[in-house]
Every structure is written in C-alpha cells, then in structure tokens.
Amino acid sequence: MELLPLGITSVGAFSLGVILVYLIIKNSSKGLIQKSEERAKKLLFNTEHETRELLLRAENSALDYRKKVESEIRELRREVSKAEKRVNQREENLQKRTEKIDRLEQSVNDRVKNISLKEEEVENLSSEIYNKLEEISSLTIQQARTFLLNEIEKELEEEITRRVKIMEASVHSQAEKKSQKILTTIMQRMTADITSENTVSTIVLPSDDLKGRIIGREGRNIRAFEAATGCDLIIDDTPALVTVSGFDPVRREIATRSLTRLVKDGRIQPTRIESIVNKEKSEVEKVILEAGEQLIHDAGTPNIHPELIKTLGKLKFRYSYGQNQLRHVLETSWLAAAIAFEIGADVEVARMGGLLHDIGKAIDREMEGTHALIGADLAKRFGVSDEIVHCIAAHHEEIRPASIEAMVVICADAISGSRPGARRESAEQYIKRLEALETIANSYEGVNETFAIQAGREVRVLVNPETITDIEATRLARDISNKIEETLVYPGEIKVTVIRETRTSTVAR
C-alpha cells in the first residue's frame, strides 16, 4: 500500500516535468520562429533592394548600348551616304570618259578613212611611177631588183674579201709569231738521229760456196727457210751477198738473225733451220718486249697495258719513209707534251696520244683498215681513255679532230715527220706531188702558169690581170690552198702565192 502513493507521486512528478519541458520548448520555439521571421523579412528586403539595383543597372546598360548602336548606325549611314556620293561621281566620270572615247573613236575612224584614201592615191601614183620608170629604163621591176641585188652583192663581196684579207694578215702575223716561239722552244729541247728506211736486209757470206748450201739439194733448204720465216731469200750473182725480203719487218728481222746464225754454224738443213728460227723468234720477242718497256720509260708513261707495250715494241723494226717508227712515236710524245704544256692543254692526254698514235702500224699488215683506226680500236680494247683514243683515230684527220689535244698530236706528228733528215721520198713520189700541185692550180679559170718550187713547199701561180682582179687574186689563193688541203697528203705546209702583174712595153725608134 505504501508503494501506490509513491508511484502516483512519481507519475505526477514525471508529468509535471513533461509539462514544464513542453512549456519551455514552446517558449523557445516561439523565440526561434520570431527570429526566423525577422531574418526572412530582412533577407527579403535586401533581395528586393538588390533586385531593384540590378534592374536599374540593366536599364542604364540598355540605354548606353542603345545610344552606342544608334551612334554606330548614324556613322554607317554617313559612310553609306559618302559611298553613294563617290559612286555617283564615278558614274558621272565614266559617262564623261565614254563620251570622250566615242568622240576619239569617231575621229580615228575618220582618220582611217582618210589614210585609206591616201593609200589608194599613193598606190596609184606608185603604179604610174613604176610604169614610167619601166618605160625609161626598159627594165621590169623584177629585172631592176635583180640588177640592184647583184650590184650590192658584188660590192659586199669585195668588202668582205678585203676585210677577210686584213683579218687573215693580222691573225697570221700573230699566230706565226706565237707558233714560232712555241716551236722554237720545243725543237731546242729535242735532238734526233737521221734514219734511213730498210726494206730489205743484206747478209754478207764468208764465201760464195755457202749459197749452194743455203739453197740445198733441189732447193729444199731455201724452201724450208722461206716457209719457216715467211720471207723470201734473194740469191743472185752478187758476190758473197744474200738478200732477205719481206713485208713484215718483224719476220724479216727473225729471218735475218736466223740466216746469220745458220751461216756461222755451217749446218744448214731443214730440221736445223726450223730449230734456229724458233729460237730466234723467242729472242726477237724478248727484244720487242725490252724495246716497248724502254719506250714507255723514255716517254714517261708507265701505266700502259702489257699487250700495248708489246705491240709498241714491234715498231722497233718498222720504218716509214726512212724514219724508224719507234723513234718517231717517242719524238711525237715528247713534242705533244711540250706543245700541250705551252698552250695549256692536257699534257698527259697529249703525251699518251702521241705515244700511241702510230701503234696501228705494228699490226696493220694483219688486218684491214687504216693504221689510225686500227690503232684506236686496239687502244680502246685495252682500256685506254676515250680522249686518247680520239687522238689516235684523228691524227690523220680521217675523223674530224674534236679536242685541242687531238690537234696537238697532229702538229707533233707533222713536226716529227717533216723535220730535216727524218724522212725521205722517192723521186717518183716527189715528181707526182709536184705535178698534183700544178694540176690543182691550173684547174682554176684565169690561171696562166703554175710553178711548184722549193721541193713542193711553195706554189706560185701567175694569173691573167685582165680577168683576175686584186680581190679575186686573194680569193683564188685561198681556194687553191683549201683544195690542196682537201685532196693531197703532205708533211708540213705548202705556201700558195698568186702573182698578178701588168706589163706594158713599147719600142723607141
């Protein structure tokens, strides 16, 4: 029973506490609500104030922008107005120009009409003048034109010939001085022996009895010898002499050596002949190789193919117009190198071209063709440069020289071949050349007499002064020299002199 009042009391206290708490909370909530309302009112006021300010600013900005746009529009209108004025002004100017052009065009048309009328008048007058001139001169227009052209051509031809003569004299004087200086300098550097040609070889026998042994029974020894060597043995009535004859100089050398050895040995029979000839072939091949090696050493051209060296060595036994070809190619090489150095050409190309220019003569009896082209083909096969091959092929001008080195080799070849004592000609060839020179000169109209003098080094031509003028005499000399160059082969140069003179005579009684 005591617990019940206690419980009621506790409940009442709890309820009272709850009520108090409620009241407290209610009072606190009212305060918070009131504060929140105040804050909301303040916030709303501020928001409305800021909104009004923003609206005001926006209105001000819109007004400013509108003013700016209106200002720009006014400026654009002013520019458009100015542009319209300029366009209008240009249209007016164009209109004025068009009117002016129309006036000028009309004026030009009027002038063209006047010119056409005047041209017709001029043509009529020209026709009348031409007709009168034809009546007066008894020549047509074409005949008069032809006559005038012929006269002008004649005057120009004489003037050209006169100027060519002056220029030739000047160039010849300068070239002669320069060439004399160069050639004199070069010739002073070289000394050479005088050689003579050996077309046959003669062997002296100890006695005439050996001739019979050389011939052998029924001629078997001489037949064996000729078959082994490829040369002919000439045994005649000349005491103690036997002649070896053959076109190939190498074979002739082998035959000469073999026969000399057989004569010394005394044992002459077919087997022995064949053995001796084979031995001498080996010896001559050694001599050829040594000669080729010595040649390239003397010339200063070491880089040559061995086959070319061997072929060059064969020139030791080859002669041309009495001049030994091995010595000739060496001289030509020296001369070509010296000339090339003096004039600024390629010295090595000229040196090698001069050394190899006649290499074809060593094998020209073995194949068809000229020695220049054969030599060029041989050099090309063994790797010689195109410049040197061209020098070889062109040294007799069978093909046109296309380089200064080729011309240098031609000059060096001519100097070596035409120097005193280098070559000799037979009387028959000499007479034929003189006759050919005189025949060429006599073939021209107006020539009275021709004389080849100074061993064919000069041709003097006497012309008829009534048919040949001084200008024509100059042209005649040039034509004769050109024809000589085209038709004849000769060493050095030939001077052509045309003589035109008028002689008047009378008798005093």
Note whether residue 349 is domain-resident: yes
Return d(Cα 230, Cα 252) in angstroms, integer: 8
264 and 322 belong to one structural domain: no
Note whether residue 164 is domain-resident: no
pLDDT in tens, 239-292: 778 888 877 888 888 888 888 888 888 788 888 888 888 998 899 889 888 988
Note whether residue 412 is domain-resident: yes
432 and 416 belong to one structural domain: no
Q: What is the pLDDT of residue 391?
A: 92
Q: Which of 94-98, 302-306, 424-428 has the lowest mean pLDDT?
A: 424-428
Q: Which residues contact 364 (CB under 8 A, 6 or more apart)?
A: 370, 371, 374
What is the mean pLDDT of the segment spanning 147-165?
A: 75
336 and 392 belong to one structural domain: yes
Note whether residue 78 is domain-resident: no
Note whether residue 70 is domain-resident: no
What mean pLDDT value characterizes the chain? 81
Helix (H, G, I), strand (E, B) or coil at 196: coil
- pTM of the entire predicted model: 0.48
| Domain final residue, candidates 292, 315, 347 | 292
Note whether residue 142 is domain-resident: no
405 and 375 belong to one structural domain: yes
Domain holding 228: CATH number?
3.30.1370.10
Q: Which residues contact 206 (CB under 8 A, 6 or more apart)?
A: 240, 263
What is the mean pLDDT of the segment spanning 51-74?
A: 87
pLDDT band at 46 (very low <50, low <70, confident <90, very high): confident
pLDDT at 442 over 60: yes
| Domain final residue, candidates 424, 441, 465 | 424
Domain holding 458: CATH number?
3.30.300.20
Q: What is the pLDDT of residue 388?
A: 92
322 and 397 belong to one structural domain: yes
What is the mean pLDDT of the segment spanning 406-422?
A: 77
Residue 220, domain extent: 195-292
Note whether residue 43 is domain-resident: no
HSE on the CB side for 319, CA within 13 Å?
20
319 and 418 belong to one structural domain: yes
Retrieve residue 485's tokens: 């160059």
Q: Where are the alpha helices (H) located in 305-403, listed in sequence order?
A: 306-313, 325-343, 347-356, 371-381, 386-393
Most confident residue range from 113-122, 132-141, 178-187? 113-122
322 and 288 belong to one structural domain: no
Domain holding 319: CATH number?
1.10.3210.10
3-state secondary structure string, 36-105? HHHHHHHHHHHHHHHHHHHHHHHHHHHHHHHHHHHHHHHHHHHHHHHHHHHHHHHHHHHHHHHHHHHHHH
378 and 477 belong to one structural domain: no
Retrieve residue 150's tokens: 């012929």
229 and 256 belong to one structural domain: yes
265 and 333 belong to one structural domain: no
Provide the β-strand partners of residue 499: 462
Q: What is the pLDDT of residue 197?
A: 43
**Structural domains counted in the chain:** 3
333 and 441 belong to one structural domain: no
| Domain final residue, candidates 267, 292, 317 | 292
356 and 453 belong to one structural domain: no
pLDDT at 194 over 50: no
Note whether residue 97 is domain-resident: no
Provide the β-strand partners of residue 454: none
Report CA dihedral (193, 196, 199, 204) to the nearest 10 degrees. -90
